[in-house]
Amino acid sequence: MASNGYRNGILKGSVKVEKLSPSSNPKPSSIKSKTTSTQVSSVRRSSPASLGGVGSGVKGDSGVPGRVRVAVRLRPRNAEEQVADADFADCVELQPELKRLKLRKNNWDSDTYEFDEVLTEFASQKRVYEVVAKPVVESVLDGYNGTVMAYGQTGTGKTFTLGRLGEEDTAARGIMVRSMEDILADICPETDSISVSYLQLYMETIQDLLDPTNDNIPIVEDPKTGDVSVPGATLVEIRNQHSFVELLRLGEAHRFAANTKLNTESSRSHAILMVHVKRCVKGSEAALSIENGNGSHMSKNFRPPLVRKGKLVVVDLAGSERIDKSGSEGHTLEEAKSINLSLSALGKCINALAENSPHVPVRDSKLTRLLRDSFGGTARTSLIVTIGPSPRHRGETTSTIMFGQRAMKVENMVKIKEEFDYKSLSRRLDIQLDKLIAEHERQQKAFQDELERITIEAQNHISEVERNYAEALENEQSRYQKDYKESIKKLEEQWMLNQQKLNSDRARVEVKQEPLDMGLAVAELQKSLQNEINLRKAAEEEVNSLKSQLVQWRRSEAVGNAEVLKLRKLLEDEEHQKEKLEEEIAGLRSQLLQLSFEADETRRSLDRGGSGKILTGLDSLMSQVRNSQIKDSGNGQKAPIVNLFEQVGLQKILSLLESEDSDVRIHAVKVVANLAAEEANQEKIVQAGGLTSLLMLLKSSEDEMIRRVAAGAIANLAMNETNQELIMDQGGISLLSMTAADADDPQTLRMVAGAIANLCGNDKLQITLRGEGGIKALLGMVRCGHPDVLAQVARGIANFAKCESRASSQVWYSSTGTKAGRSLLIDDGALPWIVQNANNEASPIRRHIELALCHLAQHEVNAKDMISGGALWELVRISRDCSREDIRTLANRTLTSSPTFQAELRRLRIEC
């Protein structure tokens, strides 16, 4: 047996397996240099039909040869093998120091194979990562594409090696988790980025493990470069290790797995993790500026940065298996066929590449198309093959070893991918432009603020000058006024002095003329005295006149007060008289009603030809209706209603429902409602026309009390199946629906909901009730939010769902031969409210909703709607946590009997 390839970066020639002579090969560090300047003379000719072509995204056309490195890992015996193979030796013998493996044919003959690494069953996860995946991860960080893939029989530890999260035991972390740790530790978060896609290839269909609704994703190939991509997959940017582990956990939850004889959790799909690493090359801009002879700051700012893009692909292949050993059957058998076909296509491609065949059947499988770059392409690829020690599986172990031997003959042309990041340059220019705009705005704002400050200071200065001028003007005016007053005062003093001097001169002149004018002065004094006497007499007369008027006014006031007292007394007498008249009117009204009823009774008696004897006691009816408070609890408290019914008669009580007096109607409808609560009275009330009268009251009355009590009476009558049909025939559900739409009072809505809930329990009326808006009326009343109203709504939905489940179990197919349609409740939009209140705190609401969910689930045609609406989770919760054993048993039976529910629970890996 011959092997040809690299081991740890050293080229090996074609020699026998037992003795291999290494030859020289460029060191791995040369791969990290720019490929534009790398010329390799001893490069193996790339096959034109290789799995991966040369991409135009790389910086140069030449590449570095790199063989697919293959490591083998032995799984220790499991518990079953320790018992079954206790008397047999392992079929595999490892020589890790020589990197050899011996596969025993029998006790005296064996075949020897060499690999790049041989890992015993005691090898730690860290050592596996360092020898298999770490060189690939370092190449990806340097801008190359890299692939790490696990191949082997089912149950040999492929998923353990690659995808183990290691949450309980840190040492058990797999290659995926350790690779991301090294990548995150090496990149710069400010300039570099990492994005991840997680896919599975299941039954030749590519599905997104991060978004299960995104299935059947197409593969896109670049016609120029031949690069393969899946642009329809979800791409998540990774910032820290915790988010990556959560992403892996989410993907593993959506991956298909099944229980086989070889493995209890056998992967039924190929899992593909794609990690895209984008790194900015440090110092590239300075180097380019020096090469171009232009090191100015401006040219550096406008030069695009150099970016290296590397892609790490980690492939966890589903295990190859034989049907007779795995025990696959049914759908699991179809999965196994699909897995074996895709692995067979991969083996054919590797055989063609190893033999330099002119044709490589890449398009035989989507797996080979996805791995086009990993074998014979431009990626650095490491393959780990996992085997088991059991001699029972010697054939599968041999096939796995031969697959690894053929893969070691495949050579890739590893190329670095460097490109100018024009988008980054555009973003940087945009940021710089935004900074300049912001700086301009700040300067403009500062200029405006400075201008406003100068304006305010100028205005303050002008105001201060104006204020100082006003104060100076005011001071000057006050000074002038003070001087003016002082001048006036001096002039007045001067005038007084002049006047005194003049008076003294005049007095001297009058003394000289006094004897001459004495007679004239006496005459003038007498005349003035007489005038004064006349004025005094006139004043006395006027005072006397005013006194007489005052006396008259006091007398008039006394008379007025007496008249007011008389008028007040007359007003009080009028009020007493009015009260007596009102009492008399009330009595006359009752007598009038009595006479009218007696006249009606007399007319009916005469029509029947009777003796004319009329039942008396209507006055007692009126007094009891007006004065007694009818209560609902206790047999002794219902005695007045029974006595009233026996003494007066049902017909007279029902006639009061048409009274013009609203109080009479209210009390009468209360009497009828209490009578309707007794099953013995319901038939009599319906035969006497009481149902029709109650429906008319519900339709015509605007009084909230009357409508509430009438709805309660109808709810009591609706407990009888015969009455239910009569209510529907007379349009009762339409009237109840209109009342529910118009009413706001919770008690009224409770009565209406109770009546509709009773009607929902009749199998014969479901189509009519739904057609006349009964279900929508129930759902409309949830706007009230009152617990009693919601309890009645839940009871009605439970009754309706129970009737539907009973009907679906009796008549599974309609008269046309087709399967019966889904529930009318789901058609009317009741499912969201049912799911929302399935775990309501109020036990009456929760109990009815749980029953409704169980009854809806019994009809298989409702299963898909219930799954999409979230009802399946509530059914699982009811089957586990419901306090009532009968409901819990019904939920378990329903989940077990439904194929659709069972398939969804298996898909979600939920045990019920």
Mean pLDDT, rounded, for 774-794: 89
Residue 822 near residue 866, CB atoms below 8 Å: no
Residue 70 near residue 115, CB atoms below 8 Å: yes
Cα–Cα dist 146/381, whole Å: 6
Minimum mean pLDDT range among 359-363, 809-813, 840-844:
809-813
Cα–Cα dist 757/707, whole Å: 18
Q: What is the pLDDT of residue 375?
A: 87
3-class secondary structure, 16:
strand
Residues with Cβ within 8 Å of residue 194, at least 6 apart in sequence: 180, 183, 184, 187, 237, 238, 275, 276, 277, 278
- The HSE-up count of residue 519 (CA atoms within 13 Å, CB side) is 1
> Could you say which of 445, 468, 491 is where a domain stops?
491
Which is more confident, 456 or 883?
A: 456
Residues with Cβ within 8 Å of residue 770, at least 6 apart in sequence: 824, 828
| Amino acid type, 57 | G
Residues with Cβ within 8 Å of residue 800, at least 6 apart in sequence: 760, 761, 766, 769, 775, 824, 825, 852
Residue 523, classified by CB atoms within 10 Å of its CB into exposed (0-12), middle (13-18) or buried (19+), is exposed
Minimum mean pLDDT range among 421-430, 456-465, 704-713:
421-430
Minimum mean pLDDT range among 204-213, 624-633, 824-833:
624-633
Residue 300 near residue 285, CB atoms below 8 Å: yes
| 461 located within any domain | yes
- The HSE-up count of residue 32 (CA atoms within 13 Å, CB side) is 12
Q: Which two tokens stand for residue 870?
A: 């979230």
* Neighbour count for residue 661 (Cβ, 10 Å): 14
Cα–Cα dist 404/895, whole Å: 47
Whether residue 264 is annotated as binding a ligand: the answer is: no
Q: What is the pLDDT of residue 806?
A: 79
| 714 located within any domain | no
Residues with Cβ within 8 Å of residue 666, at least 6 apart in sequence: 703, 705, 706, 709
Residue 747, classified by CB atoms within 10 Å of its CB into exposed (0-12), middle (13-18) or buried (19+), is middle
| 362 located within any domain | yes
Task: Return phi, psi of residue 118, to 5°.
Answer: -125, 115
Q: What is the pLDDT of residue 512?
A: 57
CA distances from 818 to 314, 771, 821, 826, 828 (A): 50, 22, 9, 19, 22
Whether residue 155 is annotated as binding a ligand: the answer is: yes
Cα–Cα dist 750/747, whole Å: 5
3-class secondary structure, 148:
strand
- pLDDT tens sequence across 321-338: 666 565 556 667 778 788
Q: What is the pLDDT of residue 521?
A: 65
- The HSE-up count of residue 354 (CA atoms within 13 Å, CB side) is 20
Residue 51 near residue 86, CB atoms below 8 Å: no
Residue recorded with tokens 């109080």 = 663
Does 186 share its domain with 261?
yes
Residue 270 near residue 367, CB atoms below 8 Å: yes
Residues with Cβ within 8 Å of residue 539, at least 6 apart in sequence: none
| 137 located within any domain | yes
| 619 located within any domain | no
Please give the full DSSP string across 714-745, using - where no structure is assigned: HHHHTTSHHHHHHHHHTTHHHHHHHHHHH---
Q: What is the pLDDT of residue 511?
A: 55
Does 412 share its domain with 452?
no
Whether residue 191 is annotated as binding a ligand: the answer is: no
Q: Highest mean pLDDT: which of 52-66, 74-88, 671-685, 868-882?
A: 868-882
Q: What is the pTM of this model?
A: 0.44
Which is more confident, 438 or 547?
A: 438
Cα–Cα dist 561/554, whole Å: 11
| 3 located within any domain | no
Minimum mean pLDDT range among 21-25, 339-343, 546-550, 669-673:
21-25
Q: What is the mean pLDDT of the chain?
A: 78
3-class secondary structure, 60:
coil
Residue 662 near residue 697, CB atoms below 8 Å: no
- pLDDT tens sequence across 632-684: 334 444 444 444 555 556 777 777 787 777 778 888 888 888 888 888 788 88
Does 464 share its domain with 412?
no
Residues with Cβ within 8 Å of residue 811, at least 6 apart in sequence: 820
Does 362 share its domain with 487?
no
Does 178 share its domain with 210?
yes
Q: What is the pLDDT of residue 128?
A: 96
Domain boundaries, position 383: 125-282+304-387+408-420
Residue 651 near residue 621, CB atoms below 8 Å: no
Domain count, the chain: 2
Whether residue 785 is annotated as binding a ligand: the answer is: no
Mean pLDDT, rounded, for 380-403: 92
Cα–Cα dist 446/439, whole Å: 10
Q: Which residues of 401-415 are buried (b: 16+ CB within 10 A; e: fewer)?
A: bbbbbbbbbbbbbbb
Q: What is the CATH number of the domain that holds 255?
A: 3.40.850.10
- pLDDT for 912 beyond 80: no
- pLDDT tens sequence across 86-119: 667 788 999 999 999 999 887 778 899 999 999 9
- pLDDT tens sequence across 785-833: 888 889 999 999 989 888 888 776 554 434 334 345 788 888 888 889 9
- pLDDT tens sequence across 229-285: 899 999 999 999 999 999 999 998 888 875 565 655 677 789 999 999 998 887 544
Q: What is the pLDDT of residue 728?
A: 86
Report the chain's C-alpha Rg in angstroms.
Answer: 54
| Amino acid type, 269 | S
- pLDDT for 134 beyond 90: yes
| 188 located within any domain | yes
Q: What is the pLDDT of residue 382?
A: 96
The partner residues of 383 in beta bridges, in order of sequence, read 70, 149
Q: What is the pLDDT of residue 564?
A: 85
> Could you say which of 396, 420, 444 is where a domain stops?
420
Whether residue 153 is annotated as binding a ligand: the answer is: yes
Q: What is the pLDDT of residue 602?
A: 53
Q: What is the pLDDT of residue 518?
A: 60
Strands 100-104 and 92-95: antiparallel
CA distances from 303 to 324, 430, 649, 865 (A): 64, 14, 105, 57
Cα–Cα dist 781/887, whole Å: 26
Which is more confident, 574 or 31?
A: 574
Does 329 share its domain with 463?
no
Cα–Cα dist 510/615, whole Å: 127
DSSP one-letter code for 861: G
Residue 161 near residue 326, CB atoms below 8 Å: no
Does 413 share its domain with 486?
no
Minimum mean pLDDT range among 603-612, 723-732, 746-755:
603-612
Residue 794 near residue 813, CB atoms below 8 Å: no
What would the 3-class secondary structure string for 459-497 be?
HHHHHHHHHHHHHHHHHHHHHHHHHHHHHHHHHHHHHHH
Local confidence band at 625 (pLDDT 50, 70, 90 cut-offs): very low
Of 110, 101, 128, 106, which Cα lies nearest the Cα of 401?
Answer: 101
Cα–Cα dist 335/327, whole Å: 12
Cα–Cα dist 697/699, whole Å: 5
Local confidence band at 715 (pLDDT 50, 70, 90 cut-offs): confident
CA distances from 295 to 257, 281, 421, 869 (A): 59, 18, 20, 64
Does 468 share its domain with 378?
no
Does 383 share its domain with 454?
no
Q: What is the pLDDT of residue 63?
A: 61
Of 832, 715, 821, which Cα lies nearest the Cα of 770?
Answer: 821
Local confidence band at 7 (pLDDT 50, 70, 90 cut-offs): very low
Does 365 share its domain with 262?
yes
Which is more confident, 601 or 80?
A: 80
Q: At what angle do helices 871-881 and 843-857 cross, to 10 degrees?
A: 110
CA 480 remoteness from chain centre? 85
Q: Which two tokens stand for residue 229?
A: 């991509």
Residue recorded with tokens 């491609």 = 349
Cα–Cα dist 6/65, whole Å: 10
| 245 located within any domain | yes
- pLDDT for 377 beyond 90: no
Q: Report the run of H or E that residue 605 belongs to, with start and end.
A: helix 422-608
- pLDDT for 6 beyond 60: no
Cα–Cα dist 886/17, whole Å: 71
Cα–Cα dist 724/708, whole Å: 19
- The HSE-up count of residue 294 (CA atoms within 13 Å, CB side) is 8
> Could you say which of 469, 491, 513 is where a domain stops?
491
CA 375 remoteness from chain centre? 45
Q: Which two tokens stand for residue 200?
A: 């599975």
Does 177 share its domain with 246?
yes
Does 377 share its domain with 460?
no
Task: Calculate ∠ Cα 513-517-521, nearest 5°.
Answer: 140
Mean pLDDT, rounded, for 202-221: 90
Whether residue 560 is annotated as binding a ligand: the answer is: no
Q: Which two tokens stand for residue 723?
A: 């009455």
Report the chain's terminal Cα–Cα distance, integer Å.
Answer: 54
Of 34, 416, 33, 421, which Cα lies nearest the Cα of 191?
Answer: 421
Q: What is the pLDDT of residue 453?
A: 92
* Neighbour count for residue 429 (Cβ, 10 Å): 13
